[in-house]
Amino acid sequence: MFGRSFQRDASQLLLLSVLAEKPLYGYAMTKEVAAKSGGELKLTPGVLYPLLAKLERSGFIDSSWETIRSDRRAVSDVAANEGVAADEDEAAGRKRKWYRLTDKGRAELASALKDHHAYVNMLAAFLPRSGGQEETSS
């Protein structure tokens, strides 16, 4: 049931989850993950971009390019549709690649979440409630 690498699946689950909320570009994803985890999780580019390529190839996400405009109100088509604004002023002319979850990706996320919860529940059955240390000391 949990044949695949949990850590690899966790990264994928993480990405699909943040993209389920809104379209994001690569760097924004790293910030989003860091912010949501209180700085505990760091999605490194070495993991992020190959994983994005893999997810896109699998059809779980799709992408579009945004050219940042010089009018301080650069808003990508994707961002505009989703109400996400990127008010970059200093990056005029630079390009960003925005990623968005596809329907297939949403289905994959739902399936992965189900697996994940089942895994956590199964694991919980083996773990002491307060942790081994407390049990030993009490």
Partner 1 sequence: MIRLNRNDREGHGDHGDRNDAATRGGASVAESVRRASGDGAEEMKAGSVGRMDPICHWLGLLQRMLKLPADIQSAVVVELESHLREHVRDLMLEGLNEDQAMRRAIADLGDAAGLAASLRSAHRPHRRMLMHVALFAIAGSALGLSVFAIRGPAQSGPVAADTPPESSLLARTPVAPAGNSSGGQAGPAIAPRAGAAAGAGGASNLLAPAAESLDEAQLRLTNLLASRAAAEATSAAYARAARRYTTHEGETFTPESIAPIEGRVTVSLADVTLVEAANAIGKSINKPFYFHATAWGEFKDKRVTLELKDAGIDLTMRVLNDALSMHGGYALVARQLDGTIEVAPQMYFDKLERRLVSYNISALEDGDICMDELLPTITELVEPDAWREHGGESAMGKVLGNRLLIEAPPRMHARIAWVLRQLKESGSADTIRWHIDMPDCAPTPAPISAPAAPARIPGAVIVMADQDARIALAPELVVDSQGPLIADRVDLHPGLIAQTRSRANGTR
Where residue 98 falls (left for φ over 0; alpha for ψ -120 to 50; beta otherwise) is beta
Nearest residue (CB) to partner 1, 56 versus 119: 56
Select the residue interacting with partner 1 from 90, 125, 131, 137 (CB under 8 A).
90
Site residues for partner 1, 4-23, by CB under 8 A, read none
Rule CB under 8 A: say whether 51 interacts with partner 1: yes
Q: Using CA atoms of 66, 20, 30, 26 in order, give the dihedral in degrees to the nearest 10.
A: -30
Nearest to 79 by CA among 33, 115, 28, 126: 28
Site residues for partner 1, 105-134, by CB under 8 A, read none
Nearest residue (CB) to partner 1, 93 versus 131: 93
The pair of three-digit structure tokens given for residue 65, joined into one six-digit string: 């390019």
Rule CB under 8 A: say whether 54 interacts with partner 1: yes
- Parallel/antiparallel/unpaired status of strands 61-67 and 24-25: unpaired
Question: Where do contacts with partner 1 occur on this chain (CB under 8 A)?
Answer: 25-27, 44-46, 49-51, 53-54, 57, 68, 90-97
